[in-house]
């Protein structure tokens, strides 16, 4: 960093000139040259601190340096000097607060003992006093030479200079930081974090970790009340998803999320709670914990489905919840197994035979990532061998995305890998693969490529509906069957395929029910045409029709005919139609009402293209199917996975997992919930006050010294 100070000179013509001090040397703008500066470590540290504070040009001290004056002549004209000029001396009001060391090379602050070079500009000495010892000019009598310990001088708060940030505002910005970074309030117990702030301004006061926790708890309660009000206004059914994990404190947690689609066909997902499941963590404890949360938000009678991680305890808890809801004669309720967890387990079975080989490739990738020389060699050799372009660092996570890249290296860059290993034989020789091992990697890569494409589509799809995910899983089942029946597949691969097929069948058995059938056919890309054969049963279609007629009756939609007429007029651009066309439309409406219904009409039309936005399709076509569109809003919100697919299959999941496992019990609920709510667009709220962070940043940027954290200033 370049430290720049400005000093005022008096020249022959009494005009001002500026010395620009750069590093340890001084040069004069205007023709004069100053002395070299002895730039000590302590001096640079203090100047760095001073220069980091925001200042305008008017704030920079211009300290006069007087030219030597000849006592005999009484003039500063050097041409008339007849006697040798006196040695230049430094005089300043600041010097009385510093003492010269015995060797004459340094000056020490009489307050704190901070040492500066003897040639340090007095402007810097003055800034040291202003920033480190406010009120020093009123403490003349208390200043003395420090003997063994520095003298402590009380700092009057009214004399603080340059404090343009309200400290409560700073603490609210830190609240935002720990939420977005998913850090516990105990982070502020680290003294060096506090020291870093005091380096910028010694008067800064950071809240204690206890106060941070208390504020977080209050924010959590305030925002949770807003969530309750929001859910009370939701007109559709809601679906819930459950996720489970154990923290570093060996506490078993369950997160409950809620999903729905609003009247404008926007999808919403909210984390309702992160709850501790009491010991012994069985189905009964999970059930009671879940019921508490649903009752807190008053949605226990509006839940249509529950998706979880397929664990036995979670399954039994869902079964108990279903019995409770059935006894209350509430709306139908269904369970959906998590397709992401099922697919991850299936892939693990496929990789089991080649785990030791993949471990070798991963170690090679780690060595390459850690060496800039090897990265350069990798890029050079892949270019020479035409083995594609690779992005560094290589994904070496043990999740599916990283494992597949390990297979990719052997499949697509085997010459490069072999060349680098030979070049570094001493350190990497043990990682060389023989022809048999390469052949096994190529076989498993080809077999699992459809799995990778499937998971990639699931991770990147805006709304992976039940219908779309079942369509993908049906393709996975066909791929496994093809491997088992192929005479070219080696025995070890066929055995892996048999184990994989068993898990796929288990998933299909759990997912096949009337509710997932209705969720699938209401996806206009799937309908009946692309639904899996195991789910395409004749009696399911009749049950779906019965559910539609029973739960979405015409009496709930009195404007259906009006909507239909409006749609026709919209298609004609609002122009008048002939008498014959009016008769034709009347007959079409009568035919639609007597011989068919909206569900039959919808299923009779061709499927929509796979890339289409499902919610946008229904938004456009809801006027054509006013009753069916309401049913679609309910069932398209049913989730096929209990977690975001990228959290399970991609390296991003490592960060998510570390965060969930590392936050202590005292703050995990508030930190994770508030973070999720703010990511959904909600603003932090403290009691009845919204925390306007954009305004806080404007105040900080403008350097306004505003009052405390009052409601007016934060709204």
Contacts by 614-619, CB closer than 8 A, 24 or more apart: 614/463, 614/465, 614/523, 614/524, 614/525, 615/261, 615/265, 615/266, 615/267, 615/463, 616/265, 617/524, 618/265, 618/524, 619/264, 619/265
pLDDT at 555: 54
pLDDT at 346: 95
Extents of the domains making up the chain: 6-71+88-157, 343-460, 514-635
CB atoms within 10 A of CB 371: 15
Flag whether the pTM goes above 0.75: no
pLDDT at 408: 94
What torsion do the CA atoms of 367, 373, 375, 379 make, to the nearest 10 degrees?
-140
Name residues whose C-beta falls within 8 Å of residue 136's C-beta, 6 or more positions apart in sequence: 97, 111, 129, 130, 143, 153
Say which DSSP state 583 is in.
H
pLDDT at 61: 36
pLDDT at 492: 94
pLDDT at 124: 81
- The series of mean pLDDT values per 10 residues for the chain, 715 residues long, is 41 38 38 40 40 40 37 41 47 79 84 82 82 68 44 40 59 91 90 85 87 94 94 94 92 95 95 93 89 93 89 80 71 87 94 94 96 95 94 93 94 95 94 94 95 93 93 94 92 94 92 92 94 84 89 60 40 56 63 63 93 95 93 95 92 89 92 93 88 79 48 44
**Beta-bridge partners for 685:** 690
Name residues whose C-beta falls within 8 Å of residue 507's C-beta, 6 or more positions apart in sequence: 310, 337, 339, 342, 473
């Amino acid at each position: 960093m370049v430290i720049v100070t400005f000093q005022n000179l008096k020249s022959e013509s009494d005009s001002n000139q500026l010395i620009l001090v750069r590093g340890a040397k001084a040069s004069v703008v205007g023709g004069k040259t100053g002395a070299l500066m002895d730039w000590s470590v302590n001096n640079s540290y203090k100047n760095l601190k001073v220069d980091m504070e925001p200042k305008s040009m008017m704030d920079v001290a211009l300290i006069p340096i007087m030219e030597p004056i000849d006592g005999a002549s009484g003039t500063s004209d050097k041409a008339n000097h007849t006697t040798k000029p006196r040695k230049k001396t430094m005089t300043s009001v600041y010097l009385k607060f510093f003492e010269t060391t015995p060797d004459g090379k340094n000056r020490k602050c009489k307050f704190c003992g901070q040492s500066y070079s003897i040639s340090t500009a007095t402007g810097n000495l003055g800034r040291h006093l202003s920033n480190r010892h406010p009120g020093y000019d009123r403490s003349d009598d208390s200043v003395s030479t420090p003997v063994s310990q520095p003298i402590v001088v009380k700092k009057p708060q009214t004399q603080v200079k340059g404090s343009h940030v309200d400290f409560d505002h700073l603490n609210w910005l830190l609240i935002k930081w720990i939420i977005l970074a998913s850090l516990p309030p105990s982070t502020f117990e680290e003294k060096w974090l506090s020291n870093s702030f005091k380096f910028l301004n010694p008067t800064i006061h950071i809240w204690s970790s206890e106060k941070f926790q208390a504020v977080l708890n209050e924010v959590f309660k305030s925002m949770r009340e807003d969530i309750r009000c929001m859910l009370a206004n939701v007109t559709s059914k809601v679906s819930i998803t459950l996720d489970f994990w154990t923290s570093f404190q060996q506490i078993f947690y369950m997160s409950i999320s809620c999903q729905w689609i609003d009247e404008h066909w926007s999808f919403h997902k909210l984390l309702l709670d992160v709850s501790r499941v009491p010991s012994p963590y069985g189905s009964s404890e999970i059930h009671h914990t879940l019921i508490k949360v649903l009752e807190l938000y008053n949605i226990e009678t509006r839940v249509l489905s529950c998706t979880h991680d397929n664990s036995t305890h979670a399954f039994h808890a869902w079964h108990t919840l279903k019995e409770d809801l059935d006894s209350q004669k509430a709306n139908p309720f269904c369970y959906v197994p998590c397709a992401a967890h099922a697919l991850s387990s299936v892939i693990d079975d496929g990789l089991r035979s080649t785990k030791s080989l993949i471990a070798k490739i991963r170690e090679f990738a780690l060595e390459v990532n850690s060496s800039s020389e090897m990265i350069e060699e990798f890029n050079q050799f892949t270019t020479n061998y035409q083995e594609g372009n690779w992005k560094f660092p290589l994904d070496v996570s043990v999740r599916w995305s990283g494992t597949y890249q390990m297979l990719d290296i052997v499949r697509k860059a085997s010459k490069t890998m072999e060349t680098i290993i030979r070049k570094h034989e001493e350190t990497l020789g043990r990682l060389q693969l023989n022809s048999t091992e390469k052949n096994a990697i190529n076989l498993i890569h080809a077999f699992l490529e459809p799995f990778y494409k499937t998971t990639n589509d699931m991770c990147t799809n805006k709304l992976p509906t039940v219908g779309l995910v079942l369509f993908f899983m049906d393709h996975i089942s066909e791929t496994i069957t093809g491997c088992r029946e192929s005479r070219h597949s080696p025995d070890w691969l066929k055995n892996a395929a048999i184990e994989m097929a068993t898990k796929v069948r288990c998933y299909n058995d759990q997912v096949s029910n009337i509710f997932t059938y209705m969720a699938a056919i209401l996806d206009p890309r799937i309908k009946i045409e692309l639904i899996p054969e195991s789910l395409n049963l004749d009696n399911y279609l009749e049950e779906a029709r019965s559910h539609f007629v029973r739960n979405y009756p015409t009496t709930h939609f009195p404007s259906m005919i009006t909507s239909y007429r409006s749609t026709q007029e919209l298609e004609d651009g609002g122009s008048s139609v002939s008498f014959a066309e009016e008769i034709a439309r009347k007959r079409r409406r009568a035919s639609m009402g007597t011989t068919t219904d909206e569900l039959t009409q919808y299923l009779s039309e061709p499927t929509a293209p796979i890339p289409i936005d499902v919610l946008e399709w229904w938004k456009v076509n809801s006027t054509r199917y006013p009753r069916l569109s309401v049913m679609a809003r309910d069932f398209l919100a049913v989730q096929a996975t209990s977690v975001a697919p990228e959290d399970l299959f991609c390296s991003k999941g490592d960060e998510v997992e570390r965060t969930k496992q590392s936050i202590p019990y005292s703050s995990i609920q508030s930190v994770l919930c508030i973070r999720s709510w703010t990511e959904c667009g909600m603003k932090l709220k403290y009691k009845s006050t919204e925390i306007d962070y954009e305004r806080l940043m404007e105040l900080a940027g403008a350097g306004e010294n505003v009052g405390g954290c009052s409601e007016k200033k934060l709204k």
